Amino acid sequence: MSFIEVLDKGYVRLVNHMGADLTVVNAARVSYAKESTELSDKDIRLIRFLAREGHTSPFRHVMLQYEIYAPLMVARQWWKYVVGSAHYEGTGDSLEAWNESSRRYITEEPAFYIPASGEWRSQPAHSKQGSGELLPTEQGHKLTAELREYIEEGIRKYEAALNDGVCAEQARLFLPAYGMYVRWYWTASLQSICHFLNQRLEHDAQKEIQEYAKAILELSKPLYPVSLDELVGSH
């Protein structure tokens, strides 16, 4: 499996990957000039030790690449992991790469995330962020209809601006931003991915990005079962 649908129109696709659990083991043992050719119980114990003790550099020798299609509000939360990866991983250069489609260059039909009537959530009772319980379906019907109407009006104005000769990079200002789907490639080390998963699989993470994190985990775990069990745990 290399493709998982997320939300109403989104998806995560595993494009490429490099390395295996054995890569982590051999990266850790290279200073002793030793190399394993098959993953043994001893190798698994070494991975557990590395994860438990925070010796994470061997996990940076494994890389994965995904194509992601998600609402802008998800993409901008995700982006901070790329910005912060150089500091988090303790290296001079980031071990992550991010290339995103731009409406400066493309004018494909815009797509938007529109929650269904039973998916709108209330404000949390004791926090300024996150969400609480689901709102009544009747209220959700009204919110979904209003959001759809707002998006349709923005698309009409966007298309009218293009027809009037406005450049794409300015015409896009008429499009409602946060719910608009964007597409990007994300390439990251296994350590970076697990850091992302440990934070975005938590129950208090925004639900929409939780769904993407679940897809990342489901696509990645068959490739690195031991490392992900140790670095991500019970999620």
Q: Which of 80, 116, 120 is nearest to 98 (CA)?
A: 80
| Per-residue pLDDT tens over the stretch 186-213 | 999 999 999 999 999 998 899 999 999 9
Host H or E run for residue 53:
helix 41-53
Map tokens 């992601």 to a residue. Answer: 68
Q: What are residue 186's DSSP bridge partners?
A: 66, 98
Q: Give percent of the chain with pLDDT exceeding 70.
A: 91
CB atoms within 10 A of CB 56: 20
State the pTM of this model. Answer: 0.90
Residue 13 has pLDDT above 70, yes or no: yes
Choose the catalytic residue: 60, 103, 172, 200. 200
| Per-residue pLDDT tens over the stretch 74-105 | 999 998 877 555 544 444 345 678 888 876 66
What pLDDT was estimated at residue 91?
44
Question: Residue type at 182?
Answer: V
Query: Can you say how many angstroms the Cα of residue 227 is from the centroid of all Cα atoms in its chain?
Result: 19
Please report how the helices 190-200 and 225-232 are oriented relative to each other, as an axis angle in degrees rounded to 10.
Answer: 40
Residue 42 has pLDDT above 60, yes or no: yes
Count of positions (residues) in the chain: 235
Query: Can you say how many angstroms the Cα of residue 14 is from the centroid of all Cα atoms in its chain?
Result: 12
200 flagged as catalytic: yes
